[in-house]
Amino acid sequence: MSDAGSAAISIRGARKVYPTRMGLSERVAVDDVTFDVAPGTIHGLLGPNGAGKTTTLKMLLGLARPTAGDFRVLGASSRTPGGRARLGFLPEQPYFPPQLTGDQAMRLYARLSNVPASEITSRIAELLEAVGLSGRGDSRLSAYSRGMLQRLGVAQALLGRPEVVVLDEPASGLDPVGQRDMRNLMMSLRAAGTTVLLSSHQLSEVEAICDRVTILNRGAVAAEGRIEDLLNVRGRTSVRVKGAAGGLPPAVVALTDDVALSGDTAVFSVPDASVRAAVDALDDAGVAIVSVAPKRESLEDYFTALLGRSDSSKEVSS
Amino acid sequence: MIRRVSAIAGAVFLDAVKRRVVYLVLFFGVVMAVAIPALPSYGAGVQSAVYREMALALTFAAALALTLGLSANRIPGEIERRTIYAVLSKPVGRWEYMAGTWLGIFGVVGVCILGFAVVDVAVGWLVYKEVMFQLFEGAYAIWLEMGVLAAFATAISGVAGAVVVTTAGLTFLFAGHSRGSLFPPGSTGLAKMLYPSLDAFDVVNPVAHGSGFGPVYAAVMTATFLGWVGVLLLAGSAAFARRDM
């Protein structure tokens, strides 16, 4: 976790309680959520539906009033308009006035993002090109496809050259090429020093590009840390071998209980302390070792296991 | 601040233009053309006064429908369609959004009322061979009153849906013109003094039956308008700032 003072985004003790009908009871949507996003990183915000991701983002963006908590972007409270001056936001489903053209919508958002009047035209052209909408600025948004609206949403989020960008399900509605472009865009933003807070259901996307993740469940932080720290299985090493069609040597079989065999390739894990013994046994049996690396879960497996735990105990890695 | 308010106002104006609200002026012209032959026959001077009364009434009715239609739906519609997310997540204050929305509606209504007034004056000249410039003064008063109504409706629309806004707007208008019937003529007192009245904008008599109102009255009316709008938008912004999107 980075120091809150130097964090690009800092959320402290976020809590949101909604009164239910007639105000007789209340529902806690977000409860004491705290995390920081370090500058120049891509930070994933994960969680199942109803985990409190969107509510947390809405409070950060001033769209919902927190019951409690402190929300800061680059040190300034993001609850005030001035505090959002260096922030760009792509809503989960980017809705724009359908009767406007792409250019008109971008011009409106440029003025709201304080883009200098002399730069608006060139900035719009530059961003429409960057998101693959060059030449479509004259079309009405009612004629845009879902993917085109998503791309326009990204373009409007970047209008004010924000140092921090919050993207809520950016790959939603995009075809595979569009998803790849989106991933490249996020990585190029990071390379340029922009901080990205990414809320996504696409675990493979998060695993591929995020430096850290925060996982929310039932309104609270269930886990937080660097992807590799969360996914590495402590104490076990993964071994991939070729030429094992006839089976693994008995000495290796005795060390492992998770062999996955496909053709003559096998993948299995052994305790860290037994790696040397396993490698020697494989060498003696003439099996080719392809790789030896710390065992790592997929984010999907980790996510599923974490949310499945009944105690929902919080995990934090440094 | 002015840039953001004017950007939102411009978007509201552009939206209304694209929705062909301007066609309302054409429809108004047709209504006027149909209504003229229905006027009863009076002496020459009296008939033109009756015409001016009718023109003001139709202008008021058309402007009322337009004002309530725009202001009751704009913010609730933006919230429902979630187009408001892309606006309020930018460095835009809720009060700037509300003020810009009101300004845009006020502008659209102003353009349409000007169109109505041009139709009124043109028809008056064609039928009665009389240039009735005082109808522009009447149109100005109606515009200001619709500005107050738009401020009220926009303020309410930050926390309520279109049906509630329309009902509340009509009630506000009715109550605003009820001071005369609630307090007997010549009565005084704090309640009458503080009663929120819109009577300042009622200029039917000087416009229809006289030669219009003077610049001093126009200034008083404008000051009343500014006071109303300021109070209503401040209250509306305070309530809107507490709303979750």
* Cβ neighbours of A108 in B, within 8 Å: 7-8, 10-11
Read off the pLDDT band of A309 (50, 70, 90): low
* Cβ neighbours of A160 in B, within 8 Å: 90
Say what the pLDDT of residue A92 is.
81
* Cβ neighbours of A154 in B, within 8 Å: none
Chain-chain contact of A99 with B244 (C-beta, under 8 angstroms): no
Under a CB-based contact definition with an 8 Å cutoff, are residues B164 and B156 in contact? yes
Read off the pLDDT band of B45 (50, 70, 90): low
Read off the pLDDT band of B64 (50, 70, 90): very high
Chain-chain contact of A91 with B14 (C-beta, under 8 angstroms): no
Chain-chain contact of A113 with B86 (C-beta, under 8 angstroms): no
Q: What is the ipTM of this complex?
A: 0.82
Rounded to a whole number, what is the distance in Å from the CA of A85 to chain B's nearest CA? 5
pLDDT in tens, A181-203: 888 889 999 999 999 999 987 77
Q: Is A97 on the interface with B (CB under 8 A)?
A: yes
Taking the domains of chain B in order of start, what are their residue ranges? Answer: 2-241
pLDDT in tens, A240-285: 999 888 889 999 999 998 888 888 899 999 999 999 999 999 999 9
Residue B83 has its nearest CB partner, among A89, A97, A113, at A97
> What part of A 139-158 touches B (C-beta under 8 Å)?
153, 156
Chain-chain contact of A95 with B96 (C-beta, under 8 angstroms): no
B37 pLDDT exceeds 70?
no
Residue B15 has its nearest CB partner, among A83, A95, A99, at A99
Give the whole-number percent of chain B exceeding pLDDT 90.
Answer: 50
Q: What's the predicted TM-score (pTM) here?
A: 0.82
Q: Is A96 on the interface with B (CB under 8 A)?
A: yes
Contacts of A310 (CB under 8 A, 6+ apart): none
Give the whole-number percent of chain A exceeding pLDDT 70.
Answer: 95
| Residue of chain B minimizing CA distance to A162 | B90
Chain-chain contact of B14 with A104 (C-beta, under 8 angstroms): yes
Domains of chain A are 4-226 (3.40.50.300), 230-296 (3.30.70.980)
Q: Is A89 on the interface with B (CB under 8 A)?
A: yes
Say what the pLDDT of residue B141 is.
96
A1 pLDDT exceeds 60?
no
Chain-chain contact of B91 with A58 (C-beta, under 8 angstroms): no
How much is the average pLDDT of A132-146? 88
Residue A113 has its nearest CB partner, among B81, B82, B90, at B90
How much is the average pLDDT of A209-231? 88
Say what the pLDDT of residue A311 is.
47
Give me the count of residues in chain A: 318
B144 pLDDT exceeds 80?
yes
Q: Is A69 on the interface with B (CB under 8 A)?
A: no
User: Which residue, among B185, B203, B137, B165, has the nearest Cα to B67 in the 3D structure?
Assistant: B165
| Residue of chain B minimizing CA distance to A104 | B11
Give the whole-number percent of chain A exceeding pLDDT 90.
Answer: 50
Chain centroid to CA B85 = 28
Chain-chain contact of A97 with B3 (C-beta, under 8 angstroms): no
Residue B83 has its nearest CB partner, among A61, A64, A95, at A95
* Cβ neighbours of A81 in B, within 8 Å: 91-93, 96
Read off the pLDDT band of B51 (50, 70, 90): confident
* Cβ neighbours of A82 in B, within 8 Å: 91
A126 pLDDT exceeds 50?
yes
Of the residues A111, A165, A199, the best mutation for testing chain B's interface (the one with the most B CB atoms within 10 Å of its CB) is A111
Residue A108 has its nearest CB partner, among B11, B85, B242, at B11
| Residue of chain B minimizing CA distance to A113 | B90
A239 pLDDT exceeds 80?
yes
Of the residues B15, B83, B85, the best mutation for testing chain A's interface (the one with the most A CB atoms within 10 Å of its CB) is B85
Of the residues B89, B242, B245, the best mutation for testing chain A's interface (the one with the most A CB atoms within 10 Å of its CB) is B89
The upper half-sphere exposure of residue B53, i.e. CA atoms within 13 Å in the direction of its Cβ, equals 11
Q: Which amino acid is at B173?
A: L
How much is the average pLDDT of A51-78? 93
pLDDT in tens, B74-118: 999 899 888 899 999 999 999 999 999 999 999 999 999 998 899
Chain-chain contact of A95 with B10 (C-beta, under 8 angstroms): no
How much is the average pLDDT of A105-111? 94
Q: Which residues of B touch A (CB under 8 A)?
A: 3-4, 7-8, 10-11, 14-15, 18-19, 81-83, 85-93, 96, 242, 244-245
Mean model confidence pLDDT for chain A = 87
A49 pLDDT exceeds 60?
yes
Integer Cα distance of A181 and A166 in angstroms: 17
Of A191-195, B42-46, B120-124, B141-145, least confident by mean pLDDT is B42-46
Residue A99 has its nearest CB partner, among B19, B91, B93, at B19
Contacts of A20 (CB under 8 A, 6+ apart): A26, A27
pLDDT in tens, B158-185: 999 999 999 999 999 999 988 888 887 7
Chain-chain contact of A84 with B81 (C-beta, under 8 angstroms): no
pLDDT in tens, B214-231: 899 999 999 999 999 999
